[in-house]
Structure 1
Amino acid sequence: MRRSQKNKAGLFLAGMFCALFSASAQNTFKYAATIPKTDSAGFYKISLQPALVAKSNADLSDIRLVNQKGYFVPYIMADNLPQPANEKFMVFPGVGVASKTDTGTSYVIENRESLPVNMLWVKLRNTAVKRNVNISGSDDLQRWFAIEEDVPLQQAGLNSRGAYLQSLSFPASNYRYLKLLVNDKNKAPLKFLEAGIYTEQSVSKSYFEVPDARVSQKDSNKVTYIDIRLNDNYLVNKIELTITAPKYYRRDVAIYQMDKQDRIPVSNAELFPGKSNSLLFAAKGNELELQIDNGDNLPLSIKNIRVFQADQFIVSYLDAGQSYKILTGDKKAPAPDYDLKFFIDSIHQRIPEISHTAVIKNTTYQIHTTIIKKDNGMIIWIAIIAALLLLILLTWKMVTEVNNKTGKA
Structure 2
Amino acid sequence: MRTLFIALLFAATAAAQTHFHHVRPATVTDPARQSYIVLDETIFTRARADLGDIRLYTDSGREVPYVLRTQRAVRYSNWAPARVLNKGTVNGETRFTLDVSVPEYDCIDLDLATKDFVARATVEGADDPAAKEWNNLGSHSLYDFSKEKLGGNDNIRLKAPARYRYLRITISGGVTPDDVHAANIANFQEDKARYVALSAPARIGQRGNHTEVKWETSEKIPVERIAVEVDPADVNFSRDATLFCDERRVTDTDLSRVKLVRKGRQIESESLAIEPYGLQCKSYRLDIFNGDNPPLRILSVKPLMLERRLYFEPKGETAFKLYYGDEKAGAPIYDYAKFFEPADAGQMVQAELKAEMRNPNFAERPDDRPFTERYPELMWVAMILAVGLLGAWALKGFKN
Q: TM-score normalised to the size of structure 1?
A: 0.50
What residue is the counterpart of 1:250 in the other structure? 238
Find 1:209's aligned residue among 197, 201, 223: 197
Residue identity over aligned pairs, in percent, reads 20
What residue is the counterpart of 1:200 in the other structure? 190
CA RMSD of aligned residues (A): 4.0
Find 2:256's aligned residue among 254, 265, 272: 272
What residue is the counterpart of 2:172 in the other structure? none
User: Unpaired runs of 5+ in structure 2?
Assistant: 81-107, 110-185, 258-268, 368-400
Matching residue's letter, 1:254: T
Task: Tell which structure's C-alpha radius of gyration is larger.
Answer: 2
Find 2:297's aligned residue among 297, 301, 306: 301
Alignment of 1:82-101 (within 5 A): 89-91=76-78
> Would you say the 8 A contact 2:253–2:274 is kept in 1?
yes
* Aligned mates of 1:236, 1:343 — CA distance in 2: 30
> Would you say the 8 A contact 1:76–1:340 is kept in 2?
yes
> Would you say the 8 A contact 2:71–2:307 is kept in 1?
no
SS of the counterpart of 1:51?
Answer: helix
The question of 1:348 aligning with 2:343 is answered yes
SS of the counterpart of 2:337?
Answer: helix
Alignment of 1:47-196 (within 5 A): 47-79=38-70, 89-91=76-78
Matching residue's letter, 1:272: S
What residue is the counterpart of 2:321 in the other structure? 325
Find 1:368's aligned residue among 363, 366, 369: 363
Find 1:26's aligned residue among 17, 35, 42: 17
CA 1:322–1:45: 2 relative to 1, 3 Å = closer
Find 1:313's aligned residue among 306, 309, 313: 309
Structure richer in helix, relative to its length: 1
* Aligned mates of 1:291, 1:304 — CA distance in 2: 14
- For 1:25-56, what per-residue CA distance to the aligned partner results, in whole angstroms no more than 9, with x for missing partners? 32332222211144433421322334334433
* Aligned mates of 1:285, 1:24 — CA distance in 2: 35
What residue is the counterpart of 1:103 in the other structure? none
Following superposition, the deviation at residue 69 of structure 1 comes to 3.3
Following superposition, the deviation at residue 74 of structure 1 comes to 0.9
Find 1:238's aligned residue among 221, 225, 228: 225
SS of the counterpart of 2:13?
Answer: helix
- For 1:281-329, what per-residue CA distance to the aligned partner results, in whole angstroms no more than 9, with x for missing partners? 3334553221223445544332222333333212111122442111223
* Aligned mates of 1:60, 1:68 — CA distance in 2: 22
What residue is the counterpart of 1:177 in the other structure? none
What residue is the counterpart of 2:286 in the other structure? 290
- Which runs of structure 1 show a deviation greater than 6 angstroms over 4 or more consecutive aligned residues? none
Following superposition, the deviation at residue 227 of structure 1 comes to 0.8
> Does 306-315 or 52-61 show the bigger shift?
52-61
* Aligned mates of 1:92, 1:29 — CA distance in 2: 49
* Aligned mates of 1:348, 1:53 — CA distance in 2: 26
What residue is the counterpart of 2:334 in the other structure? 338
- For 1:109-145, what per-residue CA distance to the aligned partner results, in whole angstroms no more than 9, with x for missing partners? xxx99xxxxxxxxxxxxxxxxxxxxxxxxxxxxxxxx
User: Unpaired runs of 5+ in structure 1?
Assistant: 1-7, 94-111, 114-195, 378-409
Following superposition, the deviation at residue 234 of structure 1 comes to 4.3
> Would you say the 8 A contact 1:63–1:326 is kept in 2?
yes
Aligned residue pairs: how many?
250
